[in-house]
Homo-oligomer: A and B are copies of this chain.
Amino acid sequence: MYKIAVIPGDGVGKEVMDAALHILSGLDLDFEYEFAEAGDECAEKTGDPLPDETLEVIRNSDACLFGAAGETAADVIVKLRRELDLFVNLRPVRSLPGVGGLFSGLDFVIVRENTEDLYVGLEEYTGDGAVAKRVITRRACKRICKFAFDYAVDEGFERVAAVHKANVLKKTDGIFREEFYKVARNYPGIKAEDFYVDAMAMYLIKKPREFEVIVTTNMFGDILSDEAAALVGGLGVAPSANIGKKHGIFEPVHGSAPKIAGKNIANPTAMILSTTLMLKHLKKKKEATLIEKALKKTLKKGIKTPDIGGKHTTTQVAQAIRDELIEE
């Protein structure tokens, strides 16, 4: 029996969460769901976008599904990542059929450090402006690089690329690069390379097939993973996993999308793929694969939301995927 915390959050978060749960209900899973609140609406009601009770629900769960938060997204998700020490942000970039990606056949993953860098929240006003601190520790560099190499081994990837800006950030990113190559020595079967972040921003477009696992610091990972998502169809299909030693939060990369919220047209794909990441994390690989297959079949049939050229609603897409599960 697994306890799953469920935080639909704001805007389309609720709609895509409904869709994802509907699909999960089509599988025989020993899950007990506990719902909790976070985000803008929660802040309006309770005065806090991330109440202690919500944190407790997540702490007491085996995994958490998270929809999206609105304006308060940074206060919710960045805090969760740091509080629960979810040091890995895993962002797979995979081509799907019929989603209008620029490239087909892409299959790589961005492993983003998730607890430090400019996200530590150390900012101060100065005379005529402000200063933010970019904090990098050897410990965090080492563990994220180790995760990246272990992931490469587990998934059968053969190369890991570190991304940094050590020519300008000689000390902070110098450390990141150093730790990367130190870790790499323990994985002689994996090719280790490093790239400047600006160069990588270009290579993702010019030669994305040359990458398998990309590991980088927090802010660069934020930017590069959105860029990479665009290559395979956009935010509507980009899932992510925030993983720590004890906890895991699985969320679409997209936000609450207020412009389309309430219209039943949000693309549930990113949320659904996020649940497959959760299933894999809970060692339920078979169930994850079932959902992936049903999703692909549904997309191939052209049953999809307007953002990727379809005419179907969120609930129609979810139902179609659930039906495919049963037909298996």
Q: Write the residues of chain A forming the contact surface with B, with a CB cutoff of 8 angstroms.
A: 71, 73-74, 78, 102, 118-119, 123-126, 128-141, 165, 167-172, 174-175, 197-199, 201-206, 219-220, 222-227, 229-231, 234-235
Q: Per a CB cutoff under 8 Å, which of B133, B167, B229 touches A131?
A: B133
Q: Closest CB-CB distance, A17 to chain B, in whole Å?
A: 22
Contact call B226/A168, Cβ cutoff below 8 A: no
Given contacts A201-B201, A226-B198, contact A129 B123 (CB under 8 A): no
Contact call A165/B219, Cβ cutoff below 8 A: yes
List B contacts of A123 (CB < 8 A). Answer: 169-172
List B contacts of A137 (CB < 8 A). Answer: 126, 128-129
Given contacts A205-B205, A205-B227, A223-B223, contact A169 B199 (CB under 8 A): no
* CB closest chain-B residue, reference A127: B137
28 contacts between A and B (CB under 8 A): A102-B205, A118-B169, A123-B172, A124-B171, A125-B171, A128-B138, A129-B136, A129-B139, A129-B175, A130-B136, A130-B175, A131-B135, A131-B136, A132-B133, A132-B171, A133-B134, A134-B134, A165-B219, A197-B223, A198-B226, A201-B201, A201-B224, A201-B226, A201-B230, A202-B226, A202-B230, A202-B234, A205-B205
Q: Closest CB-CB distance, A169 to chain B, in whole Å?
A: 5
Q: A130-B136, A131-B172, A220-B223 are in contact. List 5 more A-B contacts (CB 8 A).
A: A118-B134, A129-B137, A129-B138, A201-B201, A227-B227
Q: How many copies does the complex hold?
A: 2
* CB closest chain-B residue, reference A74: B167
Most B-side CB within 10 Å, residue of A102, A130, A139, A165 = A130
List B contacts of A222 (CB < 8 A). Answer: 165, 197-198
Contact call A172/B132, Cβ cutoff below 8 A: yes
A220 to B223, CA, bound (A): 9
A134 to B78, CA, bound (A): 19
Contact call B206/A226, Cβ cutoff below 8 A: no
List B contacts of A199 (CB < 8 A). Answer: 226
List B contacts of A204 (CB < 8 A). Answer: 227, 230
